[in-house]
Structure 1
């Protein structure tokens, strides 16, 4: 495949048919170690995933008590002091 001057690529028909890509379908290219992955995002799957995430997030709200610590203080408490960074 060749990229046009506008940065467009034509997805071959066999691949569109296999993945169910139709006009108006949302796709994304995700960088990977070996190149890139074509990801098809259907409204049904993204809506369901977003709903599932929101339900989980609602369940865990307030479960972590930092006892007044800032995020940086909490991260230091979890990880320990960083001796690989110059503090000054």
Structure 2
């Protein structure tokens, strides 16, 4: 898999490699050169920390099973 080096010395890690290493934006990686002169990339640590999604945190937490008709009747009471 080939990629191009930018004028700033940056490269894009190909999608197949990102998927294989489970890399996401913000992931830390480490580069090394082995005895054969090949560059090796390793994922460092776990998944990058990100701000928790407030909706994801609440998803599946409701313990009241509303039927659509009951909920709509409740919402329309004051209308």
Q: Based on CA coordinates, which of the two structures has the bigger radius of gyration? A: 2
Structure number having the greater helix percentage: 1
